[in-house]
């Protein structure tokens, strides 16, 4: 049997590791028999040499089994989750989970905090007074069974190897490796005890994948590996050049997600939510076609059933369910600054990345892992790409704790105004399933 050092050298030299080899490595990392600097050497070898699908499946499975795999057998039905690769203004999970659950598909969701310029679902949920994302797995399973959905953070026993490996990747320039990204995403999701997964792979300036070709490669790998691991997996590619919806910031985005459940959300956010939700209902066997699924989603909103599920989930997590009917109960920073147009014309571009970074400067995100976020600060767009605007008319409203002059200037520079607007493009760029994964 090769030593752990020999396995590192084998991958360094372009060799393929067997599933047993990968199981040994992950087990040794968790037990402490493999030092962090040795794992770092292996990660760099993987970054440079890549991994086959067989290796990536083995790594995903080993990371999944490094902790607890939740048993949701007591929850009837096909359990389906959704994962987004992250974007600016992406609050879809908050409205999608209760909406899909209201249509009869259980949604167990383990979510994350903000990463880089993208906001985190957990931070947005914690803008709801009293809402706890730190529930144990038994309570999580109970809520999924009784309410239809629950949204928690990754516990110490859910894919602990992923936590260790990601921390090393983050500081050793090995984040941008598709096999490592795939294993990280899927190990956490498979540990939830789900039957199926719908992926939202963002594309554009405000996404981690800037080009459609890169996003398609990642989506295809996620679908191939997730399918090989025994799950139903579908991926949608969605645009992320401009922010999704009109709200950026924690309480801001939670407020807008609640508006979707009330039937009055922004068109692009509603379309993204319905496109993903329709895939989840078909995967969960609650609808026979995407058209039927969309009709069921719309009916759940119109009847108030989706909002009712949200109220029940919030209450089960210790939060104040009154926010669903009255989103004004969510925090708002005291200082309001309008950013106005310098000329008349059409909004031709809104730089999502710059607005995401500006929101962090306001306090909506973190520059260190130990920082708290300010739930009340954020940016409310008044114009979207393609909208006509007059000189002096507000482009957005910034909610801050102080005058934030340098951030206001950065936000203003994120808007471009021209004599004509951009071509109208659909939010969903493409769809990848097991038959079309490259």
5-27 tens-digit pLDDT: 999 999 999 999 999 999 999 99
Residue of 40, 58, 67 lying closest to 166 (CA atoms): 40
The residue segments making up the domain with residue 346 are 331-418
Of the listed 188, 205, 224, 317, which one is catalytic?
A: 188
Does residue 271 share a domain with residue 222?
yes
pLDDT at 114 exceeding the cut of 70: no
104 versus 163: the higher-pLDDT residue is 104
**Catalytic residue check, 83:** yes
CA distances from 236 to 288, 319, 356, 380 (A): 19, 32, 22, 26
- What one-character DSSP code corresponds to residue 329? G
Of the listed 169, 202, 216, 239, which one is catalytic?
A: 169
200 versus 74: the higher-pLDDT residue is 200
Q: Which of 84-93, 108-117, 164-173 has the lowest mean pLDDT?
A: 108-117
Does residue 348 share a domain with residue 322?
no
pLDDT band (50, 70, 90) for residue 221 = very high
pLDDT at 118 exceeding the cut of 80: no
The Cα–Cα gap between 65 and 178 comes to 21
Residue 64 lies in a domain: no
Residue 187: predicted pLDDT: 93
**Catalytic residue check, 184:** yes
pLDDT digits (tens, 9 = 90+) for 122-135: 999 999 999 999 99
pLDDT band (50, 70, 90) for residue 371 = confident
Question: What total of structural domains would you count in the chain?
Answer: 3
Tokens 């599933």 sit on residue: 19
Does residue 239 share a domain with residue 256?
yes
Does residue 196 share a domain with residue 297?
yes
Q: What DSSP element (H or E) covers 410?
A: helix 405-413
Q: Which residues of 184-213 are buried (b: 16+ CB within 10 A; e: fewer)?
A: bbbbbbbbbbbbbbbbbbbbbbbbbbbebe
Q: State mean pLDDT over 255-267.
A: 97
pLDDT band (50, 70, 90) for residue 115 = low
pLDDT digits (tens, 9 = 90+) for 56-70: 999 999 999 999 888
The Cα–Cα gap between 86 and 334 comes to 28
Does residue 346 share a domain with residue 320?
no
pLDDT at 170 exceeding the cut of 80: no
**Catalytic residue check, 375:** no
Question: CATH number for the domain including 145?
Answer: 3.40.1030.10
Of the listed 10, 24, 79, 83, which one is catalytic?
A: 83
Does residue 357 share a domain with residue 294?
no
Residue 370: predicted pLDDT: 67
Residue 69 lies in a domain: no
Does residue 236 share a domain with residue 298?
yes
**Catalytic residue check, 410:** no
pLDDT at 83 exceeding the cut of 90: yes
Residue 333: predicted pLDDT: 95
Beta bridge partners of 389: 345
pLDDT band (50, 70, 90) for residue 237 = very high
Longest dimension (CA), the chain: 73
Residue 403: predicted pLDDT: 85
Residue 142: predicted pLDDT: 95
What DSSP letter does each residue of 8-40 carry, written as one string?
HHHHHTTPPPPHHHHHHHHHHHHHTSS-HHHHH
Residue 204: predicted pLDDT: 94
Do the bridges between strand 196-203 and strand 232-239 make them parallel or antiparallel, or are there none, so unpaired? Answer: parallel
**Catalytic residue check, 162:** yes
The Cα–Cα gap between 12 and 33 comes to 20
Token readout for 43 is 């990660």
Residue 86: predicted pLDDT: 86
Q: State mean pLDDT over 356-362.
A: 93
pLDDT at 116 exceeding the cut of 70: no
Q: State mean pLDDT over 186-214.
A: 92
> Across the chain, what does the average pLDDT equal?
94
Of the listed 84, 184, 187, 358, which one is catalytic?
A: 184
Q: What percentage of the chain carries pLDDT values higher than 70?
A: 98
Tokens 């970054």 sit on residue: 47
Does residue 400 share a domain with residue 338?
yes
Residue 341 lies in a domain: yes
Tell me the pTM. 0.92
Of the listed 21, 81, 90, 162, which one is catalytic?
A: 162
What DSSP letter does each residue of 168-183 carry, written as one string?
HHHTTT----HHHHHH
Residue 173: predicted pLDDT: 86
Question: CATH number for the domain including 365?
Answer: 3.90.1170.30
Beta bridge partners of 235: 199, 432
């Amino acid at each position: 049997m090769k030593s752990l050092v020999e396995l590192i050298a084998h991958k360094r030299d372009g060799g393929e590791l067997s599933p047993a080899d990968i199981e040994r490595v992950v087990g040794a990392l968790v037990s402490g028999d493999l030092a962090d600097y040795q794992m770092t050497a292996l990660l760099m070898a993987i970054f440079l040499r890549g991994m086959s699908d067989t290796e990536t499946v083995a790594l995903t499975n080993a990371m999944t089994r490094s902790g607890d795999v939740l048993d949701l057998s007591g929850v009837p039905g096909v359990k389906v989750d959704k994962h987004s690769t992250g974007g600016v203004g992406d609050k879809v999970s908050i409205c999608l989970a209760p909406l899909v659950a209201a249509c009869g598909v259980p949604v167990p969701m383990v979510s994350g905090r903000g990463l880089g310029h993208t906001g985190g679902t957990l931070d947005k949920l914690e803008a709801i007074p009293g809402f706890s994302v730190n529930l144990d797995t038994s309570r999580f399973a109970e809520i999924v069974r009784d309410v239809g959905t629950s949204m928690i953070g990754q516990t110490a026993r859910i894919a602990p190897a992923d936590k260790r490996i990601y921390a090393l990747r983050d500081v050793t320039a090995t984040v941008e490796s598709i096999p490592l990204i795939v294993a990280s995403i899927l190990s956490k999701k498979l540990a939830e005890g789900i039957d199926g997964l719908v992926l939202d792979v963002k594309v554009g300036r405000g996404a981690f994948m800037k080009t459609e070709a890169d996003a398609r490669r990642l989506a295809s790998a996620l679908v191939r590996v997730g399918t090989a691991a025994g799950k139903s997996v579908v991926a949608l590619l969605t645009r992320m050049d401009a922010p999704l919806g009109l709200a950026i910031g924690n309480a801001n985005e939670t407020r807008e997600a609640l508006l979707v459940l009330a039937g009055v959300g922004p068109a692009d956010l509603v379309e993204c939510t319905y496109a993903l939700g329709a895939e989840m209902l078909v995967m969960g066997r609650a609808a026979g076609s995407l058209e039927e699924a969309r009709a069921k989603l719309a009916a759940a909103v119109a009847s108030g059933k989706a909002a009712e599920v949200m109220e029940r989930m919030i209450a089960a997590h210790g939060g104040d369910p009154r926010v669903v009917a009255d989103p004004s109960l969510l925090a708002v920073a005291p200082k309001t600054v309008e950013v106005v147009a310098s000329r008349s014309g059409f909004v031709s571009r809104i730089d999502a990345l710059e607005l995401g970074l500006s929101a962090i400067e306001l306090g909506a995100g973190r520059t260190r892992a130990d920082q708290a976020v300010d739930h009340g600060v954020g940016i409310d767009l008044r114009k979207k790409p393609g909208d006509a605007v007059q000189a002096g008319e507000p482009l957005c409203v910034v909610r801050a704790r102080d005058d934030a002059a340098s951030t206001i200037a950065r936000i203003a520079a994120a808007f471009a105004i021209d004599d004509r607007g951009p071509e109208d493009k659909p939010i969903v760029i493409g769809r990848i399933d097991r038959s079309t994964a490259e």
